[in-house]
Amino acid sequence: MRVLKNLPALLKIAALAILLCPRPAIAAENELPSIGESGGAALSVTEEQQIGDQLMRSLYRYNILLEDPLASDYLEHLGFRLVAANPDARGRQFHFFVLEDPGFNALAFPGGYIGVNTGLVAEADSESELASVLAHEVAHVTQRHLARRLERAQQLTLPYLIGALGSILLAGIDPQLAIAGLTASQAGATQNMINHTRANEQEADRIGITTLAESGLDPNAMALFFGKMQNAARYYRKPPEFLSTHPLTQNRIAEARLRAAELPPVQIEQNPEFELFKVRVVSLAELNPGTLLSIWQDKADKGQLDSDADHYAWALALTGDRQYAKAREELLALLRKDPDNLFYVVALAEVELAANTPDQALSQVQQARRTHPSSYPLVMTEAKLLLAMNQPATARKLLLREQTDRMTPPQLKLLAEAESRAGLGAEMHETQGQYLYSIGDLGGARLQYQLALRKRSDDPYAQTRIQARIDKVREIIELMKDRRR
């Protein structure tokens, strides 16, 4: 389990770096529009995207994301349901992800990157409650609240800002020690920068509540979830991280209730997949280490597995305890009731992978893909089954056939493994280079590309393409060196 308990502190350090770092001497031809100049140049959407891309590469590199295709796919679908209902969000890029952190928090990066902690998912009692947080964060992005705060920072060029965020956000340092060395006035300036203003929060609430209603979700959920967070704060030594950057008051919660009451009634359909998503996140993140199996064992012994989600949770706990026969039995029973449910299909495949019987699951996954041909979780699962069955060439063809314009780091990592096991040295090194580039390891990416050039490939365009990748990495590295001078 990888849990970054001090992520909020690291975010504060990153914000502080923006305020404290001096303006670098960069050649004019390399300089992008600066933030907060007296001329009033605004941070563009393209520039926001560059910052967000860099931050996401850092999250991938430091293994902070819950990289589960099923959880990612569910959250992306819920997020884009909200985006489709927000007119200001249309035409903009968004990406939703889960952070493996037990804290009660959510965050938005520039460029439409929105994350929720595993701890927040565990506290949500309905899809609408989880969606209320996402809708709120989407509104912060569309209204460009973070961009406006960045523009108020000291005059920094965009390249240096990206570099500062990328290198300091998740640097291998002790964040408590770093914060302790700062003066009170500097810390106050940092907090002022990362906190959203009262006006920002009210605007995000208003837009988020309307978005919930337009999405067919419960507009009352935002006030309910905010009230839950405020009540939870009474039992914490310090309030949840979400409250430190999104301060709540009784008036604000009351306003959210009134705003929701003013909207026309919404016919709400409960999505049973929410409970499966929540169970899976809690299980994978091990939010209750050492107790999860005993909790579900006790419920099973007492006949208290009251829902399909309970049986699913029990099956996941059994899989983690290597009780594969019992887990298989539970999942097969669930699949008889709902044969098209991807949560059950993938979980059964995971049982067979763990039990070293991948051939037992392949046909079912392939059948599910006929109904969901481009499903990210199914493609990844089938590729893993094929690799376990020693069919790397077939796994590679599947991943390449189903790839999108921009493969995710987990996809690239799995593709590199398939190419390595298929004996495709040049292709493996190139893909490994793409993977390292996608997580911000430029030096490692350049080395892999150079190794790819030395290998023979049947692709007549490989040499030209790989050399172009090397040139691009070299250009970025040189620009970063210039920033440090």
Q: Is residue 196 part of a domain?
A: yes
Task: Indicate if 82 and 204 belong to the same structural domain.
Answer: yes
Rounded distance between C-alpha atoms, residue 235 and residue 238, angstroms: 8
Boundary-marking domain end, from 261, 291, 326? 261
Residue 270 lies in a domain: no
> What is the pTM assigned to this prediction?
0.83
Better-scored residue on pLDDT, 73 or 146: 73
- Whether 256 and 281 map to the same domain: the answer is no
26 and 101: one domain?
yes
Q: Is pLDDT larger for residue 111 or for residue 173?
A: 111
- Supply the residues annotated as catalytic: 137, 205
46 pLDDT above the threshold of 70 = yes
Question: Which region among 20-34, 82-96, 221-235 has the lowest average model confidence (pLDDT)?
Answer: 20-34
Residues 479 and 344 placed together within one structural domain of the fold: yes
Measured CA angle at 316 (ends 313, 320), to 5 deg: 140
Gap between the Cα atoms of 457 and 312, Å rounded: 46
> In the predicted model, what is the mean pLDDT of the chain?
81
Q: Considering 202, 226, 261, which residue would you say is the last residue of a domain?
A: 261
Higher pLDDT, 348 or 104: 348
Could you tell me which residues come within 8 angstroms of residue 205 by beta carbon, excluding any fewer than 6 positions away? Answer: 136, 139, 222, 252, 255, 256, 259
Quote the pLDDT of residue 429.
97
Do 6 and 466 contact (CB within 8 A), yes or no? no
CA distance 151 to 19: 11
Residue 43 predicted with pLDDT over 80? no
pLDDT at 23: 37
Q: Is there a single domain that holds both residue 323 and residue 370?
A: yes
Q: Is-contact 222 132, C-beta < 8 A?
A: yes
Q: Is residue 250 part of a domain?
A: yes
> Has residue 2 been placed in a domain?
no
74, part of any domain: yes
Do 299 and 437 lie in one domain? The reply is yes
pLDDT tens for 351-396 read 999 999 999 999 999 999 999 988 999 999 999 999 999 999 999 9
In the chain, pLDDT over 70 holds for what percent of residues?
A: 74
Query: Around 282, how many Cα atoms within 13 Å sit in the side-chain half-sphere?
Result: 25
Which tens digits make up the pLDDT trace of 272-292?
999 999 999 999 987 565 677
Residues 123 and 245 in one domain: yes
Domain annotation covers residue 25: yes
- CA triple 318-323-325, angle to 5 deg: 110
409 occurs within a structural domain:
yes
Of 207, 230, 261, the residue that ends a domain is 261
255 lies in the same domain as 320: no
CA dihedral 361→363→366→372, nearest 10 degrees, is -80
pLDDT at 338 > cutoff 90: yes
Whether the predicted pLDDT of 54 surpasses 60: yes
60 and 198 in a single domain? The answer is yes
Question: Quick check: 16 pLDDT over 60?
Answer: no
248 and 281 co-located in one domain: no
Between the alpha carbon of residue 477 and those of residues 163, 260, 480, 484, the distances in Å are 11, 50, 5, 11
CA distance 470 to 464: 10
Tell me, yes or no, whether 246 and 317 share the same domain: no
**Domain shared by 233 and 305, yes or no:** no
CATH of the domain at 432: 1.25.40.10
- Domain total in the chain: 2
Residue 58 within a domain: yes
Domain residue limits at 449 = 277-484
Q: CA–CA separation, 348 vs 350, rounded Å?
A: 5
- Tens digits of residue pLDDT in 249-276: 788 889 999 999 999 888 888 899 999 9
More confident: 142 or 90 = 142
